[in-house]
Amino acid sequence: MIPIRNNMNLRQIFSVIVKITWARKTILFIQGFMLTLLLMIAVSQEATAQQQRFPMPEFDTGYTIPDTTTPEPRSESMEYVDLSVLLAVLALTTWLVLKKRSRNWIFWLVVFSLIYFGFYRNGCICPIGAVQNLALSLFSDTYAISLTVLAFFAIPLLLALFAGRIFCAAACPLGAIQDLVIVKPIKLSPWLQKTLGLFPFIYLGFAILYAATGTDFIICRYDPFVGIFRLGAEFHMIILGISFLLIGMFVARPYCRFVCPYGALLNIGSRFSKYHLSITPSECINCKLCKDSCPFDAIDYPTEEKDVRVTKEDNRRFIWIAILLPLLIFIGGLTISGSYKLLSRAHPDVHLASLLVANPELMQETGNLDIDTFMASGKTVDMLVAEATVIQKKFRTGGWYLGGFIGLVIGLTLLNQMVFRKRSIYEANRGDCYSCGRCMDYCPVGKPDHPYHKGS
């Protein structure tokens, strides 16, 4: 529109200004706008740091310049309130599970956690997502984890080593919302449970890989219930959340059992816990009343006589799997590490780089926002490719660990199936039990008013 280039000297610019000034009678509004612009360019060419094209006016009417409002975020001290609430809920639940043995009270705590951590705190801050913050903080130079987030991660795990999955029982809002929709839980066959139960470990591994490479927080992104807590999310996430709740009416707590990556960690911790919920307060009388009380199939039955078999066949299988375990780990590592190109494309930089390398003609075309922004940023494709290569390398190394971990988990699960354990009473499976306390209500031991005693 106006023949001005950055490389013009001052005289040329002023000659343009003169022409424009001459034309101002016809194009009046250009005067205020462009003249100032041109003068500013001229002034800035005389070496001044001021970037403002139009100077701040001097007002005659006593107008005062308003301040830009900056509403404060939620107070930082509130995070410590959250932490205290978590500690209080965990302590109370531990007491209710181990000493008071009251399902009723646990139920009301579940309701409280759903309201507080779920609907009031919108499902954030939560230990499940904190796994990723920890991974990112360990592997990134720029991100430092907050102390409260670290505490949210570590405290439920520490407690699991002492008292089992107390966090799952009443503190977790995701567990709470599923616990309240259980209508008629069906029993799943053990092999299906075991197979689906592998997924949390795989999910955990991938979540750590993606967080550690700074790619994405997949646990938070695909959290099915956070949309329900916030009463609004993308359509497909709401659908996912509602589907989980609908399935959860019949397959109790499907997210906790077959998806939750933090649950995988708690599962391991809880297996070796010092104390744990026990179905009976004293001695099990094998009344079988608790048999169907658990919606999560987490009660181990006494072994029957016909099951007692330790054959050569079993021993041989055990040894074979133990020998094959390193191979499983190796194959896992090889597979995941080998697919690093595919996996790393989730990272936006890698995605863009591979797109531009594969289709160089895209650089000229416009319309793709990411490519346009990148081309306008002044970076070269080589720089982008170099960055992407670094990230891909991380995926390659991380893939070995992830694949090895998956191989190990599959191998150990198989080994576990070969080990025969004799059991004479009904007891909670420490890994799978959420300490929800339902079974305690069914047990007639120590309850003189229980119908069981009246019947006999």
Q: Which residues bind another protein (CB under 8 A)?
A: 29, 32-33, 36, 52-57, 59-61, 63, 65-74, 76, 79, 122, 124-125, 129, 132-134, 137-138, 143-148, 150, 153-154, 157-158, 161, 216-217, 220-221, 230, 232-234, 268-269, 271-274, 348, 369-370, 372-374, 376-377
Closest approach of Cβ 32 to another protein, in Å? Answer: 7
With beta carbons less than 8 A apart as the criterion, state whether 160 and 167 touch: yes
Closest approach of Cβ 395 to another protein, in Å? Answer: 17
CB-facing half-sphere around the CA of 345: CA atoms within 13 A: 6
Name which of 387 and 441 has its Cβ closer to another protein: 387
HEC string of 196-223?
A: HCCHHHHHHHHHHHHHHCCCCCHHHHCC
The Cα 174–Cα 4 span in angstroms is 62
Name which of 232 and 455 has its Cβ closer to another protein: 232
| Number of other residues whose CB lies within 10 A of the CB of residue 182 | 17
With beta carbons less than 8 A apart as the criterion, state whether 439 and 293 touch: yes
CA distances from 267 to 152, 163, 209, 431, 433 (A): 17, 12, 20, 4, 8
Name which of 157 and 363 has its Cβ closer to another protein: 157
Closest approach of Cβ 444 to another protein, in Å? Answer: 26
Name which of 66 and 455 has its Cβ closer to another protein: 66
Closest approach of Cβ 54 to another protein, in Å? Answer: 3
Name which of 43 and 138 has its Cβ closer to another protein: 138
Closest CA relative to residue 229, chosen from 130, 155, 125, 150: 125
The CA R_g of the chain, rounded to the nearest whole Å, is 32
Q: At what angle do helices 261-271 and 199-212 cross, to 10 degrees?
A: 120
| Number of other residues whose CB lies within 10 A of the CB of residue 367 | 7
Closest approach of Cβ 431 to another protein, in Å? Answer: 12
Indicate the DSSP class of residue 188.
P
Name which of 254 and 269 has its Cβ closer to another protein: 269
The Cα 204–Cα 216 span in angstroms is 13
The Cα 277–Cα 298 span in angstroms is 12
Closest approach of Cβ 71 to another protein, in Å? Answer: 4
Name which of 273 and 280 has its Cβ closer to another protein: 273
Name which of 182 and 220 has its Cβ closer to another protein: 220
Name which of 183 and 231 has its Cβ closer to another protein: 231
- How does 419-447 read in b/e, with b if 16+ C-beta sit within 10 Å? eeeeeeebbbbbbbbbbbbbbbebbbbee
Closest approach of Cβ 388 to another protein, in Å? Answer: 14
Closest approach of Cβ 179 to another protein, in Å? Answer: 23
Closest approach of Cβ 421 to another protein, in Å? Answer: 9
With beta carbons less than 8 A apart as the criterion, state whether 236 and 151 touch: no
User: What three-state secondary structure class fits 162?
Assistant: helix
With beta carbons less than 8 A apart as the criterion, state whether 109 and 444 touch: no
Closest approach of Cβ 454 to another protein, in Å? Answer: 35
Name which of 261 and 444 has its Cβ closer to another protein: 261
Closest approach of Cβ 237 to another protein, in Å? Answer: 9
Closest CA relative to residue 325, chosen from 212, 437, 192, 416: 416
Name which of 102 and 122 has its Cβ closer to another protein: 122
The span from the first CA to the last CA of the chain, in angstroms, equals 101
